[in-house]
Amino acid sequence: MSKSDKRAIIRTLRTAADLGLSLIYPPRCPLCETVLPIARRIRPEGQERSCWERPLICDDCRGKLPYNSGAVCLRCGTCIADEREEYCRVCLLRERLFRQGMSVFLYQGKMRDSLMRMKFHNHREYIPFYADEMKRASEAFLRRAQPSVIIPVPMHERKRRERGFDQCALLARRFSECSGIPVQTDNVVRVRYTKPQKGLNAQERRNNLKNAFSVRRPQELSGPVLVIDDIYTTGTTMDAMASVLLENGCGPVFFLTLCCARIMQ
């Protein structure tokens, strides 16, 4: 049997295994958890032939996604209440180390519940949907930023063991597959076990992250970097990441997050 025959058999077996798994554990909508069809026929825009596609979300939720599509801060991409303003309060008051960032969704309603289920109830199967949305929303942003590498915000090893997986690393890997931009998931590490940022004030957030990150192999980094995270709040984490990346000779630093938490400003 030739190598290509073997590969074809392995591929067929894998597809059959996937299909079998889908029958036992049918894929569900990442937002409302209704069972999704395993595949459906679609005709891509501008093409004559139809093809099969695996839906990542139900049609009902597709029409109601909470995109971060209103007025946003030109620097951090967070939504701002007054559309005449160019920058949010935090960016006006604080020197930013990252160049620019954007978030795809507002962290609210079913989107927030979905992200919580993914993180705390191990719904890793939502990640292809998240990465696909990040890819669609960031095309113009990526053309401007031209990142040479993707770096996820790292999780401390102890936390990764407790949770069993690192959602940002998985998201960054999948986003790399969709976008074709190389990813390095183990080059920047979290060297200090930090408290959750939630509930801390601005100064406490900065102190909490002081010297939290470290670059292992700076020689492998150069040029613009795209940092990936799941939620953007005040940007303290992004500034800490930008700081360590800039110190190690790369940059400018851009970021892309799935959601931004609405802090009315």
Closer to Zn ion by Cβ: residue 115 or 183: 115
Query: What are the beta bridge partners of residue 79?
Result: 72
CB of 60 to Zn ion, least distance (A): 5
Q: Smaller CB distance to Zn ion: residue 68 or 176? A: 68
Residue 101: CB minimum distance to Zn ion, A: 8
Q: How far is CA 263 from the centre of its chain?
A: 20
Q: In the complex with Zn ion, which residue's Cβ is closer, 79 or 149?
A: 79
What's the closest the beta carbon of residue 87 comes to Zn ion, in angstroms?
5
Please name every residue paired with 101 in a beta bridge, in sequence order, or none if there are none.
255
Radius of gyration of the chain (CA): 20
At its nearest, how many Å lie between Zn ion and the CB of residue 50?
Answer: 23
Q: Are 175 and 134 in contact (CB under 8 A)?
A: yes
The DSSP call for residue 52 is E
Shortest reach from residue 103's CB to Zn ion, in Å: 11
Which helix (H) or strand (E) is 179 found in, with range? helix 167-179
Rounded CA separation 29/65 (Å): 12
Nearer to Zn ion, 88 or 225 (CB): 88
Nearer to Zn ion, 29 or 212 (CB): 29
Please tell me whether the peptide bond between 252 and the residue prior to it is cis, using omega within 30 degrees of 0.
yes
Q: Smallest distance from the beta carbon of 108 to Zn ion, in angstroms?
A: 16
| Cβ-based nearer residue to Zn ion, 64 or 136 | 64
Print the SS3 string covering 66-128.
CECCCCECCCCCCECCCCCCCCCHHHHHCCCCCCEEEEEEECCHHHHHHHHHHHHCCCHHHHH
**Distance from C-alpha of 25 to C-alpha of 21, rounded to nearest angstrom:** 6
Q: How far is the CB of 131 from Zn ion (least distance, A)?
A: 18
Footprint of Zn ion (CB under 5 A): 29, 31-32, 58, 61, 73, 75-76, 88, 91
- Identify the CA nearest to 73 among candidates 195, 204, 235: 235
Q: Which is nearer to Zn ion, 73 or 241 (CB)?
A: 73
- The dihedral sign for the CA sequence 71, 239, 190, 194: negative
